[in-house]
A and B are shown apart, each in its own frame.
Chain A
């Protein structure tokens, strides 16, 4: 009986904090969840310029998967995503490990490497568009040095254009990964290093088998940040290649935008964005169940 009388108190505990959280909760529910549900619902309609509730089943999805541009987009996102994940982790970690060797001018190096992250994707895209332009950029410089056969023209070659975008993406994003990793490395107790040294374990083994497993939370955080950046890849493409040459560097987010707004076909755009959501969900849900479901049991 006494516990029942206390129950309402629990609700009103930290009342100010709960009131403060209401706007964010509402935003999350109405804007994110509501918007998502609305989008998914309307992806089953044949809405054109304006949304209308004329349901056509899976027609939009059938058309979507029959479209070559969508297939190219998915393929590009996979290549970009995989490479950008692997390379930004490897490069980021190696840079952080090097930075962690108590070197001189660490601050300066850290600033230099993190600096590209301060630039927007639009600026990054433009800068790399110029750098990779055969008549203005790297190819031209090296040719003018006398290597006239030097050929480096990724942005106008449909087969490798996505790697040209990848270079720009890595240049922009690796600095952040490095800083996150460095923070993780600094969080490792110095005694562990000493213990490893006493045991005579080589440095690379210490990193690989002791330090990296201990850094799991940092890796997870970095993974989430990088992965969300990959899925919404749009501005870099627009600035650097506009999806060209042809459609060889198109990405899903651009497909969504183009069909929703330029093509005046909301249904098709909604279907594409629902597929993007589904792809994210397939990755996130099993991971979240492992991560959070597991902790409860402990």
Chain B
């Protein structure tokens, strides 16, 4: 910390003493209630040091926001910093030299020692240089259940996926939508990847996506995953909503039994004033395998000629990973902190479960680390069709899945 302060002082001097009040535009796609509350923690922490956080939120999720950000960077109008998911999304921008090398800040702050699990920092690293600041860990493998909905249907709250599937008919009879699923394509493919990681196991997912193993993709293990996906399709029938938070809202308001969604859903429960364990239950790894993927969000910093902005980017990166910001941000966001050395005493039941799994080392790489956006987009197309159109048999879907895996890069 001390060395950074010296560094900051020096930069401040070089920039003529005015460096400590720079406007920095930060673009991100955190617009739902919980997300917005979390991002304002960043803004507060950054503003406290005298700089100004100019919020550039882009509504509509990553799929909408990413092209906007990329075209601004390529078009020569870069923002101060932008949020991406870790992984291969920014690969080409880095190779084209459009993003700033943050290795100096990372070394000054000792990111190598504090970031846990280390794979997060590896995801930011290309050719030994660090290009992004990881801010949180998000895992997809959660099943969120409404306790009141199960009470109304007269069945016990399930403790794993099979029990949940079995409870489906009872929920339907009680007029409750068993599984909430929004119409956005990424929700469908995300849900499938969760089923894949939990039903077949993380090794299978890693081999198929990481090594493009088409044989395994065509095998019996995946067949079981596709039949689980068909179950899920049956349960999800009739949830006519589009956005993920609308689907989460169905669970919050007890109109739906459950939702498979990443831990960012927790932020929505928190905003609605729901209490983990009382109002809702969470099953990491769908209660089948206690495993979480360590994807997440990271901030990247486009190269900027203006030395003041450059210095402010360094300050922002240091602020994002500081102890206090990490605690405040992640509590609001419902995600896990990227530092292993902080105490989340205020964490709720679900976050504690996640922290335990993380501490036990039951982690797997996120799909974004293994797949390019191109492959993800193809998976989106396949699964949004599969989950919305019952005429596609699991076998036919598996064939197309094998083709995508065979041709992936």
Interface residues of A (CB under 8 A from B): 48-50, 63, 66-69, 134-135, 156, 158, 242, 244-248, 258-259, 261-265, 268
Judging by beta carbons under 8 Å apart, are A158 and B374 in contact? Answer: no
Judging by beta carbons under 8 Å apart, are A262 and B384 in contact? Answer: no
Complex Cα gap A63–B71 (Å): 25
Judging by beta carbons under 8 Å apart, are B384 and A246 in contact? Answer: yes
Which of B275-283, B362-370, B385-393 sits within the interface? Answer: B385-393
* Residue ID in chain A nearest B184 by CB atoms: A242
Complex Cα gap A156–B70 (Å): 33
Q: Which single member of B63, B183, B407 contacts A262 (CB below 8 Å)?
A: B63
Tell me, rounded to whole Å, the shortest Cβ–Cβ distance linking A248 to chain B.
7
Interface membership of B242, Cβ < 8 A: yes
* Residue ID in chain B nearest A59 by CB atoms: B407
Tell me, rounded to whole Å, the shortest Cβ–Cβ distance linking A246 to chain B.
3
Complex Cα gap A167–B93 (Å): 43
Which residues of A are found within 8 Å of B381, using beta-carbon distances? Answer: 67-69, 247
Which residues of B are found within 8 Å of A134, using beta-carbon distances? Answer: 240
Tell me, rounded to whole Å, the shortest Cβ–Cβ distance linking A72 to chain B.
8
Given contacts A66-B403, A246-B389, A261-B71, 6 further A-B contacts (CB under 8 A): A49-B373, A68-B385, A246-B386, A247-B385, A258-B377, A259-B377
Complex Cα gap A158–B237 (Å): 13
In the A-B complex, the 4 residue pairs with the smallest Cβ-Cβ separation, listed nearest first, are: A246-B388, A261-B67, A263-B377, A49-B92
Which residues of A are found within 8 Å of B384, using beta-carbon distances? Answer: 244, 246-247
Q: Which single member of A50, A248, A259, A263 contacts B74 (CB below 8 Å)?
A: A50
Complex Cα gap A48–B93 (Å): 11
Which residues of B are found within 8 Å of A156, using beta-carbon distances? Answer: 240
Q: Which single member of B63, B376, B400 contacts A68 (CB below 8 Å)?
A: B400
Which residues of A are found within 8 Å of B387, using beta-carbon distances? Answer: 246
Main secondary structure of the interface of B (DSSP, over half): helix
Which residues of A are found within 8 Å of B240, using beta-carbon distances? Answer: 134-135, 156
Which residues of A are found within 8 Å of B71, using beta-carbon distances? Answer: 261
Judging by beta carbons under 8 Å apart, are A264 and B385 in contact? Answer: no
Judging by beta carbons under 8 Å apart, are A244 and B183 in contact? Answer: yes
Tell me, rounded to whole Å, the shortest Cβ–Cβ distance linking A256 to chain B.
12
Which residues of B are found within 8 Å of A245, using beta-carbon distances? Answer: 183, 388-389
Judging by beta carbons under 8 Å apart, are A158 and B377 in contact? Answer: no
Contact mask for chain B residues 389-409; partner A; CB cutoff 8 A; 1 contact, 0 none: 100000000001001000100
Interface membership of B86, Cβ < 8 A: no
Judging by beta carbons under 8 Å apart, are A49 and B70 in contact? Answer: yes
Known A49-B93, A247-B385, A264-B373; contact A242-B66, beta-carbon cutoff 8 A: no
* Residue ID in chain A nearest B374 by CB atoms: A265
Q: Which single member of A50, A66, A248, A259 contacts B389 (CB below 8 Å)?
A: A248
Which residues of A are found within 8 Å of B92, using beta-carbon distances? Answer: 48-50, 264
Which residues of A are found within 8 Å of B388, using beta-carbon distances? Answer: 158, 244-246, 248
Interface membership of B40, Cβ < 8 A: no
Contact mask for chain B residues 153-191; partner A; CB cutoff 8 A; 1 contact, 0 none: 000000000000000000000000000000110000000
| Pairs A–B under 8 Å by Cβ, sample size 9 | A49-B91, A50-B74, A67-B378, A68-B381, A68-B385, A135-B240, A246-B386, A247-B381, A263-B376
Tell me, rounded to whole Å, the shortest Cβ–Cβ distance linking B289 to chain A.
29
Complex Cα gap A156–B237 (Å): 11
Complex Cα gap A259–B381 (Å): 11
Interface membership of B89, Cβ < 8 A: yes
Interface residues of B (CB under 8 A from A): 63, 66-67, 70-71, 74, 89, 91-93, 96, 183-184, 240, 242, 372-374, 376-378, 381, 384-389, 400, 403, 407
Judging by beta carbons under 8 Å apart, are B377 and A265 in contact? Answer: yes
Judging by beta carbons under 8 Å apart, are B372 and A50 in contact? Answer: no
Complex Cα gap A145–B378 (Å): 45
Tell me, rounded to whole Å, the shortest Cβ–Cβ distance linking A21 to chain B.
29
Tell me, rounded to whole Å, the shortest Cβ–Cβ distance linking A100 to chain B.
44
Which residues of B are found within 8 Å of A246, using beta-carbon distances? Answer: 384-389
Which residues of A are found within 8 Å of B66, using beta-carbon distances? Answer: 261-262, 264
Which residues of B are found within 8 Å of A68, using beta-carbon distances? Answer: 381, 385, 400
Judging by beta carbons under 8 Å apart, are B389 and A264 in contact? Answer: no
Which residues of A are found within 8 Å of B96, using beta-carbon distances? Answer: 50
Known A49-B93, A50-B74, A246-B384; contact A263-B374, beta-carbon cutoff 8 A: yes
Judging by beta carbons under 8 Å apart, are B67 and A242 in contact? Answer: no
Q: Which single member of B372, B385, B389 contacts A48 (CB below 8 Å)?
A: B372
Interface centre among A67, A242, A264, A268 (most CB of B within 10 A): A264
Tell me, rounded to whole Å, the shortest Cβ–Cβ distance linking B241 to chain A.
11
Complex Cα gap A116–B388 (Å): 32
Tell me, rounded to whole Å, the shortest Cβ–Cβ distance linking A79 to chain B.
17
Which residues of B are found within 8 Å of A63, using beta-carbon distances? Answer: 407
* Residue ID in chain B nearest A72 by CB atoms: B385
Tell me, rounded to whole Å, the shortest Cβ–Cβ distance linking A272 to chain B.
13
Known A69-B381, A245-B388, A262-B67; contact A268-B374, beta-carbon cutoff 8 A: yes
Complex Cα gap A82–B238 (Å): 31
* Residue ID in chain A nearest B64 by CB atoms: A262
Interface centre among B66, B91, B377 (most CB of A within 10 A): B377
Tell me, rounded to whole Å, the shortest Cβ–Cβ distance linking A230 to chain B.
23
Complex Cα gap A158–B388 (Å): 8
Judging by beta carbons under 8 Å apart, are B89 and A264 in contact? Answer: yes
Known A63-B407, A245-B183; contact A262-B373, beta-carbon cutoff 8 A: yes
* Residue ID in chain B nearest A51 by CB atoms: B74
Tell me, rounded to whole Å, the shortest Cβ–Cβ distance linking B88 to chain A.
9
Tell me, rounded to whole Å, the shortest Cβ–Cβ distance linking A250 to chain B.
8
Which residues of A are found within 8 Å of B74, using beta-carbon distances? Answer: 50
Complex Cα gap A265–B381 (Å): 14
Complex Cα gap A259–B63 (Å): 11
Judging by beta carbons under 8 Å apart, are A261 and B70 in contact? Answer: yes
Which residues of A are found within 8 Å of B389, using beta-carbon distances? Answer: 158, 245-246, 248
Which residues of B are found within 8 Å of A248, using beta-carbon distances? Answer: 385, 388-389
* Residue ID in chain A nearest B390 by CB atoms: A158
Judging by beta carbons under 8 Å apart, are A242 and B242 in contact? Answer: yes
Which residues of B are found within 8 Å of A268, using beta-carbon distances? Answer: 374
Tell me, rounded to whole Å, the shortest Cβ–Cβ distance linking B22 to chain A.
29
Tell me, rounded to whole Å, the shortest Cβ–Cβ distance linking A198 to chain B.
61
* Residue ID in chain B nearest A48 by CB atoms: B92
Judging by beta carbons under 8 Å apart, are B400 and A264 in contact? Answer: no
Tell me, rounded to whole Å, the shortest Cβ–Cβ distance linking A215 to chain B.
44
